[in-house]
Structure 1
Amino acid sequence: MHTRDDVCVLIPTYNEAAAIGDVIDGFQAEGLENVLVIDGGSRDDTQEIAAEHGARVVEQSGSGKGQAVREAFEYIDAPYVLMVDGDGTYRPADADALLEPLLSGDADHVIGNRFADMESGAMTRLNRVGNRLINRAFAGIHGRNFVDILSGYRAMTRDSIERFDLTSAGFGIETELSVECVKHNITTEVVPIRYESRPEDTETNLRPFRDGAVILLTLYRMAKTNNPLFYFGSVGTASLLVGALLGVYVAVEWFTRNISHEVIALVAAVGIIFGVQLLVFGVLSDMIVKLHREQMHRLDQVLDADRKTEDGSRD
């Protein structure tokens, strides 16, 4: 039976000296002694404070939260990983809520929903609007509603991590984790957590407009392999509409003013042909992706049945 000793608390940090000590103490008070702090080269005393409070500290070789998380996974061999930001906005007391579905075998990935219990002032109105937009875009593009895909408080099994193909370097890592869960059909649960304001004397590393744009681009980029009909269809539809509008303009000019626009007509024809081709390609790609998922699901069922048979024979 798995216990808290099988859990590694992963904390990516960058200039979190004002909060990291309390964060580590809080998780250790919850019985989670295995704490890994992976630091992005903080200019303050984050690394020293983390080490003093009993955490294993590693300085990442590159930069960005996404790169830190990907690199940290290579240092972790525990069966379960509890990932949390080091800014003091997440409560160690909520660790049980995230770990319970993993330890009971009900899920392989758990996301903490910040919007279930958010302290007043913990998130700006701009960030709230941005989060809603991104969550709706995720649900529309990838077909699953995880409520809060940008949450930095997550728990996951080592087995599920090994199935991820992560490439994000920055704040797009949470988005990429969510997409990978859908892509690989990883059992995912969303649990309510408390989200609190950042402690005084701490500054956020998030830049709403820049990082929001990166996250949206990550959503769109990953649709190529997860929802190709949307990925190719959106561009194809835009091209088709532009071509059709140009074609209508050329036709109106010809019939009403007897003026020909050969170049515009050529561009319109190319736009329409290109749009139709992308739409057809998107449909075919979508069929292939769905067939692949079905085959992988059947393979997983066979492997699970084999594991249960082996466990039964050992007993």
Structure 2
Amino acid sequence: MDRIAVLIPCFNEERTIRKVVTDFKKTLPDAAVYVYDNNSNDRTAAVARDAGAIVRKETLQGKGNVIRRMFREVDAECYIMADGDDTYPAEAAIEMVKRVLEDQADMVVGDRLSSTYFDENKRHFHNFGNALVRKSINKLFKSNIRDIMTGYRAFSYQFVKTFPVLSKGFEIETEMSIHAIDKNMNVANVVVEYRDRPDGSSSKLNTFSDGAKVIRTIVSLFETYKPRAFFSGIALVLFLLAAVFFIPIFINYRKTGLVPNFPTLIVCGFTVIAGLQSFFSGIILHTLRKKDRQDFEKDLIRCQERYTELTKRNERN
């Protein structure tokens, strides 16, 4: 078990990976630096190995798949996750590690948005998307995470070993944030400087397609983690639609005693039934979510026992 493990997922980062590895080894000399190559078609793996990193490979394409592999294979008291594009300063890791090891934070968010991100990042739609996602999630989940989509984070052993990775791509950061909020984990924010990619290094993100994936992920996770609110919202929309079409029919019936639009009345009835089904589905799923939270707490206790066992073994060695 490592004391500190630096995890760097990489895809075609030959231009910057040497500096990233060197900076982290200098800043955290006792840390193990892992570079996971995700089918790069350049010399990323060779350069990282030459710089002193432990290089491993993940053949399933996508950042989420790489992080799943990392979290399964690496045991450490504190994890630092960073990108291989040299956009984050390694020096900030010292404070992030301190928050995990001394302050018992489960996840530390490297907050770019409160520093230089909007000045350094020249992709304006990315800037807008990051701000929108932050406001949406903090509003929906009643949280205060200052940078939802940052790739620079620190984690505790308990977070890494109990986090179910479902996303395959860049939406993984959003999933991490919502998981930490939902499970009432200790989340800290550390402001970090952000610098844009150096010349010759290109982003793998597509503003629109990856942005659409993130939005779908938010909706899906809101349905999963907040089923009562999600399905009650659908039920409310259905009830309002039924009311809009039913009220004119009812007024006409009070005046004339006739129902000229009988098919519309039938549709209104089925719409109300669908709304009731949606409402009670949300109640049932909310009850199941409470049971899931109880099971998670039990898993957390078992994870803590495993962590204690590993740290004692480290001390003996």
TM-score range, shorter chain: 0.7 to 0.9
**Greater alpha carbon shift after TM alignment, 115-124 vs 79-88:** 115-124
* Equivalent in the alignment of 2:21: 24
Tell me: CA distance 1:141–1:201, structure 2 relative to 1, closer, same or farther (3 Å). Answer: same
Q: In the TM superposition, what are the counterparts of 1:69-218 in structure 2 within 5 Å?
A: 69-119=67-117, 120-218=119-217
Q: Distance in 1 between matches of 2:233 and 2:15?
A: 45
The answer to whether 1:11 aligns with 2:28 is no
SS at match of 1:189: strand
Aligned partners of 2:290, 2:190: CA distance in 1, in Å? 28
Aligned to 2:314: none
Whether contact under 8 Å (1:142, 1:226) holds in the other structure is no
- Whether the aligned pair in 2 keeps the contact of 1:13 and 1:39 (CA below 8 Å) is yes
TM-score normalised by structure 2 residue count: 0.85
SS at match of 2:202: coil
CA contact (8 A) 2:171 2:217 kept: yes
1:160 aligns to what SS in structure 2? helix
Contact (CA 8 Å) 2:28, 2:94: kept in 1 or not? Answer: no
User: Normalising to structure 1: TM-score of the pair?
Assistant: 0.85
Letter in structure 2 aligned against 1:166: V
Range that drifts further, 138-147 or 192-201: 138-147
**Structure 2 counterpart SS, 1:194:** coil
Query: Does the Cα contact within 8 Å between 2:79 and 2:155 map onto a contact in 1?
Result: yes
**Residue 281 in 1 paired to residue 267 in 2?**
no
TM-superposed CA distance for 1:69, in Å, is 0.4
Counterpart Cα distance in 2 of 1:24 and 1:121: 22
Shift of 1:259: 7.5
User: Which amino acid letter does the alignment assign opposite residue 99 of structure 1?
Assistant: V
Please name the residue that 1:262 is paired with. 262
How far the C-alpha of 1:187 sits from its partner, in A, is 1.2
Give the Cα separation in 2 of the matches to 1:203 and 1:86: 11
Question: Structure 1 pair 250/133, CA: closer, same or farther in 2 (3 Å)?
Answer: farther
Question: Sequence identity, in percent?
Answer: 27
Partner of 2:55: 57
The 3 A distance-change label for structure 1 pair 66 and 253 is: farther
Report if the CA contact (8 A) 2:114-2:146 is conserved: no
User: SS in structure 1 opposite 2:179?
Assistant: helix
Which residue, out of 26, 32, 40, partners 1:42?
40
Name which of structure 1's ranges 163-172 and 214-223 shifts more when overlaid on structure 2. Answer: 214-223
CA contact (8 A) 2:158 2:300 kept: no
Contact 1:130 1:212 in 2 (8 A): yes
**SS of residue matched to 1:115:** coil
Residue 79 of structure 1: SS of its match in structure 2? strand
Aligned partners of 1:241 and 1:272 also within 8 Å: no
Q: State which drifts further: 23-32 or 119-128.
A: 119-128
Structure 1 contact 90–194 (Cα < 8 Å) conserved: yes
Aligned-pair CA distance for 1:12: 0.7
Amino acid at match of 2:220: R
Cα RMSD (Å) of the superposition? 3.0
Moved more, 86-95 or 39-48: 39-48
> Which deviates more, 115-124 or 288-297?
288-297
Corresponding residue number in structure 2 for 1:311: none
d(CA) in 2 for partners of 1:253, 1:64? 59
Is the CA contact (8 Å cut-off) linking 1:11 and 1:85 kept in structure 2?
yes
Gaps of 5+ in 2: 309-317
State the Cα distance separating 1:156 from its structure 2 match: 0.5
Q: Residues 300 and 31 of structure 1: is their aligned pair in 2 closer, same or farther, counting only changes over 3 Å?
A: closer
